[in-house]
Each structure stands twice: as C-alpha cells, then as structure tokens.
Structure 1
Amino acid sequence: MLGRLLAAGLACGLALVVFPSPGGAEDALTALRRTGTVGSGRVLADEPVDSRLGGMAAPASAGWGGLNEQAPIPTKPRVSGLPFLQDLINAAPEGSVLALKPGSYSGPVVVNKTLTIEGGGRVTIDGGGKGTVFVLQASNAVLRGVHLTNSGVSHDSDDACLNVRGDRNVVENLRIDDCLFGIDLKMSNDNVVRGNSIRSKPFDLGTRGDSLRLWYSHRNLIADNNIADSRDMVAWYSNENRYLNNVVTRSRYSLHFMFAADNIVEGNRFYDNAVGVNVMYSGGGAIRNNFFSHANGPTGMAVGFKEASGVLVEGNEIIYCGVGVGLDLSPFEPDTTIIIRGNRIAYNGIAISFLSDKKGTIIEHNVFEGNLTQVAMGDSGSADRNLWRGNYWDDYQGFDSNQDNVGDRPHELYAYTDQLWMEVPYARFFRNAPMMEMLDFLERLAPFSTPVMLLRDEQPVFNKPQESSKRSVK
C-alpha cells in the first residue's frame, strides 16, 4: 500500500509523501524551549498548563462557534480544473511529510492529523472565493511555504485563508492574499506563526478582515511576519503571547489587545496605521524596542491604554504620530502602574495625552523633542500626580551650572490658553491657529487666569542623550 501511494503521487505529478516525519512542529518547539524567546527572557514550559478559557467562560455573543466546533472534511473542490488537495491530505499517513509538487491546487482543505506540508514557496491553494481556504485542525503539525488565496467575503462566517484549531503547530513562510481574514487562531496554544506575508481583500478599511486574530489562545509566538492593507491584528482573552519583529503597515490597529494579559510586543515596526498598539481592559506584559511612525488622522495614536494596568513601555521610537502615548483611566487596577521609560517621543502632535486625572504612571528617562504639545489633559485635571523623572525636554528653560547633566531647576509645564482646547474638544481644531498662539503669548506675559501646572520633572536631563541603536529602526 505504501509503495502504491508513493508511485501514484509521483505518476500524477502532484506530491511526494515521505514517512515518517523527521521533525515538524515538535522539533521547532523543542528548539524554542531550549533557546528561549527572542529578547523577552521568557521560556516556554515543557508541559504548559492548558488554560484555554483564560479563567472565564466563552462569551456567547462572540458568534464564532461552540467550544467543540469541528470543521467537516471537504469532499468537493471549489475550483474546477485544479487538483483537489484534500485527496492528498486524506491519503497521507499521520506523521508523514507531504511535499507538494509546484502548481495550483483547489481548496477547501481540512487537516485533522499530525502532518508536515511543504510547498517550497511554489504552491498555490485557491479557495474558490467561498468560505475558508485552509483549516489546520490538528496539533504538532507544520504548514510551510504555500500561497493561500481567494477566500469568501462573509464576516458572519469569518471567511479566512487559514484557521488554526490546535496546539504546538508551526505555520511559516506562507503568502496570504485576497482573503477576508488572514490567520485565525481559536483556542490554540503554543503555536509558532512566523515569516508569513498577509494581505486582506482590497476593501475599505472598516470592511476588511483582521490580518491575524487570537481568541482564547495562549503562549503563541508571532514573529517576523509582514502584514499590510488589512484591518486589525487582535488578541481576545489571549495571554502570554509574544509578538516579535513583525512589520505592520497601512492597517487600522497594528495590534489590539482585549482582555489579554502578559503579552510581549518587541522589535516590531508599525507605520502608516491608524493606531499602533492598543491595550484595553488588559494587564501585564511589555511594549519594548518597537518603532512607531505616522499614526495620524483624527484617532492617530502610537500606543494607547484603556483601563489597562501593569504594562511597561520601554525603548520605543515614537515619531510623527497624532498622539504618542494615550492613557484613558489607566492604570486601572488599584496599586498598579504603567511605566513609560527610555523612549524617544518626537515630532508628534501630542507626546502624551491623559484623558483623565488619574495617578499611577511613571514617566522616566524619555526624550521629548519636536512635539507640538508635550502633555495634554482630557479634563480640567493635571498630570502632576504621576511621577516624572529624569526626562530630556527640548523646551526646558534652565541651565546646568555644575555640568552634571541635570538641570539646575525642575522642568515645569503649565497650560495657559491650551486649557481651552484641552477642556473643549471642538476647540482643538484651532489649537495652533494664529489667534490661539497670540492669546497664549499674551497670557504668559500677563496671565488673566490661573495656569494649570501639568507636570513637574525634578531632575530633567540637560543634554539630549545619544540615540540608542535599539531605537534607531529605519
């Protein structure tokens, strides 16, 4: 039987089946455990605890199927005239390597066993413009070097190029385009999603699908992917995932966390998106050594927090954005902090925006330069309740007489006429108008109202620090 299957595959010119698999996802995860994670200092546990529900019940309103949802094995191809890849999947023994011959194949495809599928970068799987193209409904499998394209367009059924519904799989070097959703992980843990190129369908921004979505999926590695022209990369109820060295551009949210804890975002490049990283109702983790630029428009923001707690923002370069860092009721949990440390925040409309008068943020050792507004408040409060320490301010008005690189007096930032547009949102349209600038100049000469002290940095750095090589991402 084994010989007949091999001969048939070669005779038809479709695929080569090799027995058994010499490596696969098990080897990749073993290597990952041995070397640890890149830059995060965290190592996968040998036997991770299965916490698929993240400590809470699955919300019925999500509409993404039941907890035990299983995709049926397809029986008919969607594209006539192309070989049906499912036939080769069905014939391949579990644990084998299926090396596909270059060419185009018809979807849909469901893999429900441990299998290594190799495309070598010369294989296309066409979904026929309906439903989801490929479902990896297995664990310890590998999908590598294939082109997935032409999914359906239904948001109701979340039509995607690839659904992952298992643990410890490796998905790498895929080219994904003309699909509503890109890669969707649901209740799938300890997977590696690496080196993939993802594009959505050419729809308006709000009607595209998400490029990469995690739902109740923990401890996954998302690394070295190139994502463009999609909607969001999002993680719902998903903890301890690592997003390393990805490039995301021309999308809405580069990365959006909802009820997700202890995720690491490091070494990524996010540019020309509406929002860089947004953390909502989540806690823990770090946003470290990333490059953010050109998050512009009415809601443009590099890093945003909404009722979030315990997050470290460190070593990032944030330039040319509407808002550098925005905080709304954050930190939210009692006795927690958000630390903004060692970043370069430059040439933004607003460097740091607080939408509420809430303490608990530590802002230290950052470089603030070229911003139209260094700090803004969304109400009548002050950011002085937070800790400002050892930052460089390009508008510092003081000296360093003893040359210890610490300003002789604290850096204090006051809001004069700026109070108008901070307290009245509609007035923001006029914030840099000549009349506002003139009013601000006159009020600084002879105040006709009491200015609000927004912040006080007791030990401002006098000389601009040298740019770190970690932040000089071009």
Structure 2
Amino acid sequence: MKRAVLMMVSIMGLMASNSLQENLLQQAIDRAESGSKLELPAGEYHGNIVIDKPLIIDGVDQKAKIVGDGNGTVVTIRSSYVTLKNLTILHSGEEHERVDAGVSIKEAEHVTVDNCKIDDCLFGIDMEQVHRSRITRNWIRSKPFTLGLRGDAIRVWYSNDNNLSYNHVTQSRDFVVWYSHGNVIAHNFGEYGRYSLHFMYAGKNEVLYNTYEHNSVGIFFMYSQDTIAIGNVVKSSLGTTGLGIGLKDASNFTLKDNTLIYCARGIYIDRSPFQPDQNNTIEGNKILYNSEGIHFHSLSISNNIVGNIFKGNIEHVVDDDKVTLHSVKNFWDRNYWDDYEGFDKDNDGIGDTPYNLFYYADKIWLLNPNIKFFYASPIISIMNFLARLAPISQPVMLLKDAHPVMYEKDLEKGVVQ
C-alpha cells in the first residue's frame, strides 16, 4: 500500500469547553483525508473513536487526553498505516469478554503507537493479526483491580514481525505473545504484574535487554521454539509460582547473558527441549541468590548449560523427578560454582577435578516435599555431615561439570570460554 502525502489538519476548535459533550475528534477523523495528520492541542477529547483510514494523530507531549466513557475501547484502529503518538489515553470499559482496551488494533500493518500514556484501561494495547508494526516508548497501567482481574498490558495475537520496545508496564496482568512469530521485544520494563512476558505457540522471536521486577513470573516460553533471550534482567519473582525464566515444551532456545536474581526459581525447565532432535543453550547467565538456581521438572534433557555463574543460591540445581534424575543427562561445562571445593594447580582458571553435585541427606526433601518442613534444622545438618564424612550409601549424582571455572571474574571478563 502506497502511503498518502501527509496533510496538516487544524482542529483548534476542539479546545472548546464542550468538547467532551460531542465527539468532535471523531468528526475530525471522519472528515480528514487519508494520510492526514491531526495535531491535538492540550485538552480532553471524547474517546471511543474509530480510525479506519491511514492517519497520524499527534498529542504533543501527552497533554492531549483521549478519555473513554468507561464502556468499550477508547481508540479502535481498523486500518494500516495509522500512527498514534504523544497521547494520553484513559478510561476504557471493564469487560474481559469484549477485551476493552486503551488501543485495539486488528487486521492491519505498519501501525505505530509511540510515546503514549495508557492508564485506567483494562487492556492496554490489543493487537490481533497485526504485522510489521511498532509499539514503542509507551507507559501502560491497567485498572485498579486484583491481579487476576486486570487485563493484559500488551496482547499480541496472531501478529508477526512487530517491534515492541522501550515500553514501561506497571500494575497490569500479563504481556502476552501468542501464535505470533518474528517479533522483537526489547528494552521493556515491567513491574507488579503476573507474567511480565508470556509466550504460547510462538517462534523465532527475539527477547532482548528487558528488565522485569516484582512480578510473579519473569519470562515464560510455552510450546514455542527457535527463540533467543539475551541480556534480560529478572529480579524478585517470588511466591509459590515465582520464577525468572521458564521453558515448557520449548525447543531450540538460546538463553544467554541474562541475570536471574532474588527469585524463587531462577530458571525453570519442563520437558524442554520438546523435540527429540533439538537442543537448548543456556549460556553466560548470572544465576544469583535465588532459592533454586535451575529447577528441572519432568523429562528435560539435551540442554547445553555452559559458562553460567551459580552464586548465592540456596540450591543451585533442583531435579524433582522421583524416578530417574534427568539433570545429569544435560551437558554441563565451564560454569562457575561458588561451592566448588577443588584446586587449580596449573593456574589455567579451570578446576583440576570436576564439580559433582550430589543428593546427600540434606537433599532428601527434594524427593519427599513433606520433609521440607525440617529443612535447615539441626537434625538434617547432622545427617548431612555424617553422610559426607562416612556415607553408608551411595549419594545420588545430580550433575557433573567436568571443567568448573575457578573465578567468577574470569567468566564476567570472558577470559574463560
């Protein structure tokens, strides 16, 4: 589609005090020629508008407010080549069944929503079959409901090849990417939500340099493949469901240079990779001060776990499989373990003996959760000491890293590869 030449359309008359009584903004949109630009002066404009032609609406410094009537969606876009920028968008409806949103975009291409403040809207930006579009630099908050009743800040549904970057999401429910491929999600910040980023049946997406704090779940990839997650920071994902990055039935993934800190579980791996002929790569991540560094659930083998830093975790690795431990069937190499007890006589930065992680008596709670009540109690500590001093049975091997890195700084500086 060839983009029309832009036209400047003056709508200073919308500043009249009765502008909220009549939807003069919708009238201006209806009168505007395709490809026009509407510059909105500071003030309030009646919402629940529909844009069905290529158009630019510029609010200039977010001082132009489009206010919904509390019923339905505030701005509905049903055309390609539409741009919303520098606007404040407020007060959608409250119906999940209708997906009441600040901005709804459907069956369109080359749409831009940039530098908008979207507040008191159940869903922030809803995208359905939207391709090659840009959602950038927006500030989004849902309605003041309990967590499960809020809407999603950004909802990407059957939408491909979009750029969603530099958005600030707070006090919403989820940021979801479902049945969508080839999207770039980068440099976003999310806080006080449920899933700060949730993928379902998605592939070939790039998740780069996002920061997520105080959410139930940082980044969760489900039934997805062929995706990279690089340089993300996930902090303080706590509670019974708390985790930094999760892989569920996920194949051909690369998790690299991410920081998982102060989470209930840093990385959660469930039946991943799912495809039997594929691997996942977990490389160069900082897994710090979590209750569990990596948690394996169900059959999860063929993961390459290389060059990561395991430091300050209560348990570096947990495998909850009660029949056959699968974590040992992954490839572990050149990781830094803060509890490694070996030496480096030749000063090459690699331990002279492998790092072996066993289940001793203090780990029996992993195989029987009821025993967790006694975790860190004197009796468990004594049992563990005796098991290490004079074991009466062979401990269970959890993993073996043949080349443990001696110094954390060597991995940080890239001295050891």
Task: State the TM bucket, normalised to the shorter chain.
Answer: over 0.9
Aligned to 2:3: none
Summarize the Cα distance change of 1:467–1:119 in structure 2 as closer, same or farther, 3 Å threshold. Answer: farther
Aligned partner letter, 2:360? Y
Partners of 2:9 and 2:39 within 8 A in 1: no
- As a proportion of its length, which structure holds more strand? 2
**Distance in 2 separating the partners of 1:13 and 1:214:** 35
Partners of 1:251 and 1:273 within 8 A in 2: yes
Aligned to 1:109: 49
Equivalent residue in structure 2 for 1:275, among 206, 217, 220: 217
1:11, distance to aligned residue in structure 2 (A): 4.8
**Distance in 1 separating the partners of 2:392 and 2:72:** 65
1:217, distance to aligned residue in structure 2 (A): 0.3
Summarize the Cα distance change of 1:116–1:424 in structure 2 as closer, same or farther, 3 Å threshold. Answer: same
Aligned to 2:5: none
Equivalent residue in structure 2 for 1:185, among 109, 124, 127: 127
1:308-330 Cα offsets, whole Å, 9 max, x none, are 11110001111111101010111
Aligned to 1:424: 368
Partners of 2:340 and 2:355 within 8 A in 1: yes
Aligned to 1:155: 96
When normalised by structure 1's length, the TM-score is 0.81
**Distance in 2 separating the partners of 1:297 and 1:178:** 27
Mapped pair 1:398 → 2:338 = no
Aligned to 2:379, what secondary structure does the other structure show? helix
Note the 1:8-407 alignment, pairs <5 A: 9-11=11-13, 13=15, 81=21, 83-120=23-60, 121-165=62-106, 166-380=108-322, 381-382=324-325, 383-407=327-351
Summarize the Cα distance change of 1:87–1:436 in structure 2 as closer, same or farther, 3 Å threshold. Answer: farther
Partners of 1:398 and 1:408 within 8 A in 2: yes
**Distance in 2 separating the partners of 1:146 and 1:6:** 17
Structure 1 alignment gaps of length 5 or more: 15-76
1:355-412 Cα offsets, whole Å, 9 max, x none, are 1243210000111111100110111333111000111111001000010101000000
Summarize the Cα distance change of 1:422–1:243 in structure 2 as closer, same or farther, 3 Å threshold. Answer: same
Aligned partner letter, 1:456? K
1:81, distance to aligned residue in structure 2 (A): 3.1
Aligned to 1:311, what secondary structure does the other structure show? strand
Aligned partner letter, 2:372? R
**Distance in 1 separating the partners of 2:413 and 2:39:** 42
Partners of 2:65 and 2:87 within 8 A in 1: yes
1:132-177 Cα offsets, whole Å, 9 max, x none, are 1111111111110111111111111111111112111111001011
RMSD: 2.0
Aligned to 1:455, what secondary structure does the other structure show? strand
Structure 2 alignment gaps of length 5 or more: 1-7
Partners of 1:83 and 1:104 within 8 A in 2: no
When normalised by structure 2's length, the TM-score is 0.92
Aligned partner letter, 1:138? S
Matched length: 402
Partners of 2:335 and 2:404 within 8 A in 1: yes
**Distance in 1 separating the partners of 2:13 and 2:237:** 54
1:262, distance to aligned residue in structure 2 (A): 1.0
Aligned to 1:415: 359
**Distance in 2 separating the partners of 1:308 and 1:427:** 31
1:466, distance to aligned residue in structure 2 (A): 5.3
1:10, distance to aligned residue in structure 2 (A): 3.9
Aligned partner letter, 1:101? P
1:437, distance to aligned residue in structure 2 (A): 2.8
**Distance in 1 separating the partners of 2:225 and 2:212:** 21
Partners of 1:245 and 1:269 within 8 A in 2: yes
Aligned partner letter, 1:167? E
**Distance in 2 separating the partners of 1:349 and 1:151:** 40
Aligned to 1:432, what secondary structure does the other structure show? coil
Partners of 2:268 and 2:295 within 8 A in 1: yes
Stretch deviating more after TM superposition (299-308 or 79-88) = 79-88
Equivalent residue in structure 2 for 1:459, among 396, 403, 406: 403
Aligned to 1:139, what secondary structure does the other structure show? coil
Summarize the Cα distance change of 1:212–1:335 in structure 2 as closer, same or farther, 3 Å threshold. Answer: same
Partners of 2:9 and 2:32 within 8 A in 1: no
Mapped pair 1:439 → 2:383 = yes
1:47-95 Cα offsets, whole Å, 9 max, x none, are xxxxxxxxxxxxxxxxxxxxxxxxxxxxxx9x95365421111111111
**Distance in 1 separating the partners of 2:252 and 2:196:** 21
Partners of 1:84 and 1:107 within 8 A in 2: no
1:324-366 Cα offsets, whole Å, 9 max, x none, are 1010111111111111000111101010110124321000011
Aligned to 1:30: none
Summarize the Cα distance change of 1:192–1:371 in structure 2 as closer, same or farther, 3 Å threshold. Answer: same
Summarize the Cα distance change of 1:469–1:159 in structure 2 as closer, same or farther, 3 Å threshold. Answer: farther
Aligned to 1:284, what secondary structure does the other structure show? strand
